[in-house]
Amino acid sequence: MHRNLHNTLFLVFWGLALVGIIGSIYYNDLAAQAPRVENRKIDRLLIEEKIRNGSLSNHPARYYKKHSDMGEEP
Amino acid sequence: MSPLPPIVECRLCPRRCKLAENERGDCRVRVNLDGELRTLVYGKPCALHIDPVEKKPLFHFLPGSSIFSIATAGCNLHCLFCQNWNISQSDPEETRNESFPPEHIVDAALKNRCPSIAYTYTEPVIYYEYTYDTCLQAHQKGLRNVLVTAWYIEEEPATEMAKVVDAANVDIKSFDDRFYRELCGGSLRPVLRATEILSKAGVLVEITNLIVPTKNDDPGVICELCAWVHDHLGAETPIHFTRFHPDYRLTGIPSTPAKTLLMAAETAHIQGLHHVYVGNLPEGGNEDTFCSKCGKKLIARRGFRVNENRLVAGRCPDCLQPLHGIWK
């Protein structure tokens, strides 16, 4: 009885672990395929120049929150 | 030592980009400058045109009228098959931008006798503040506002925008979330939620579904989309099935066969949708509008041209059934 329970728990544990590992690989794979903007860093000098010459704006945006550098909301 | 400028989290779209100082969002146009979120494209369109409203496509809104159409660079989706990728997938510093604040857009629309303004070509969600302010000024001058959008947006800004918009063509790219993730870099559920917000706010919603062979042409998925439109937006909601052309990063797939588009149209009819259109076909598609009660032809179209409009005060002249839409 005790041994059967042990075997069942052993199988359930490793079964779930296997599903988790496969699922994680699958979703990471999908995330890697998903198109996105690679370089988020701006050239600040270029942007400021474009704002000065009028081809870009520097207008307040709506809908955002500030975080501290530790990632906490103020 | 002075503290670092704060990280900002954009709450405009479901991406919720977290931006450190001097970083831009996935849309390319919203940046963290000195700890504040700023938009680089307010009043800086890279495209300004006058189009027939049928080109949007919008078939139940002022048929035969011209619509003043604007766009800025950037987009919060990155569809591999984008047909305006040269501006939607460009940084705003790479495009040639005009200076056109909201009041100039409204003046230009009035001067060119356009009864409405379209926020289109790229994605009006990402130039939200510019769209919103222009919409307000347009309403003050008696003009109407139209969004042509993938509508990948959070609920709060969607609700606010719905108050100043009259009509929208929402591009639901597929009813399969995997399609959104793999081909567009987005997700389906927020689009559906935000589209319902528009509809419930009384905005005239038309749906577009661009069918890409082997990617989103599964009849079951198209059937699910049509059923959702019927159940959540209503049987009178117009739906447009449009043809894919190889473009951007999806050049190895041929254009959508006519039979696939016609299969989609038939599916939509079976699901109970009354106004189903097929566009972008060289031989002409199902572009005419019929009365949902007596079945008579009310508006005859060919391409972007209206050949005949039999509506009388927004009603069928034969059975007097009102036709869903904005007609004057």
- Number of Cβ within 10 Å of residue B64's Cβ equals 15
Q: Starting at the edge strand that comes first in sequence, how are the strands of the sheet with B30-33 ordered?
A: A59-60, B36-39, B30-33
DSSP string, A54-71: TSS--EEPSSEEEE-TTS
Q: Check CB contact under 8 Å for B12 and A62.
A: yes
Q: Check CB contact under 8 Å for A68 and B7.
A: yes
What pLDDT is recorded for position A74?
36
Check the CA dihedral B28-B31-B37-B39 and report its sign: negative
Q: Check CB contact under 8 Å for B23 and A57.
A: no
Which of B96, B130, B185 has its CB closest to that of A34?
A: B185
Answer yes or no: is pLDDT of A69 > 70: no
What pLDDT is recorded for position A68?
66
How does pLDDT run across B3-62, given as a tens digit for each residue?
Answer: 677 899 999 999 999 999 999 999 999 999 999 999 999 999 999 999 999 999 999 999
Question: CA B279, CA B303: separation in Å to the nearest integer?
Answer: 8
Which of A43, A59, A71 has its CB closest to that of B39?
A: A59
Q: Check CB contact under 8 Å for A61 and B92.
A: no
Q: Check CB contact under 8 Å for A61 and B30.
A: yes
Per-residue confidence in pLDDT tens, chain B, 328 aa = 566 778 999 999 999 999 999 999 999 999 999 999 999 999 999 999 999 999 999 999 999 999 999 999 999 999 999 999 999 999 999 999 999 999 999 999 999 999 999 999 999 999 999 999 999 999 999 999 999 999 999 999 999 999 999 999 999 999 999 999 999 999 999 999 999 999 999 999 999 999 999 999 999 999 999 999 999 999 999 999 999 999 999 999 999 999 999 999 999 999 999 999 998 777 766 999 999 999 999 999 998 999 999 999 999 999 999 999 999 9
pTM over 0.80: yes
CATH architecture for the domain at B41-267? Alpha-Beta Barrel (3.20)
Q: Enumerate the residues of chain A whose CB falls inside 8 A of the CB of residue B2.
A: none
Domain chopping of chain A, boundaries: 1-74
User: Which chain B residues in 227-286 lie under 8 Å from chain A, judged by CB atoms?
Assistant: 249
Q: Check CB contact under 8 Å for B38 and A37.
A: no
Domain chopping of chain B, boundaries: 41-267
Q: Enumerate the residues of chain B whose CB falls inside 8 A of the CB of residue A69.
A: 3-4, 6-7
Which of A30, A46, A67 has its CB closest to that of B6?
A: A67
Q: Check CB contact under 8 Å for A56 and B41.
A: yes
Check the CA dihedral B64-B131-B182-A16 and report its sign: negative
DSSP string, B166-186: SEEEEE---S-HHHIIIIISS
Residue in the structure block whose two tokens are 């005419």: B288
Q: Can you tell me the ipTM of this complex?
A: 0.92
What pLDDT is recorded for position B84?
96
What pLDDT is recorded for position B283?
73
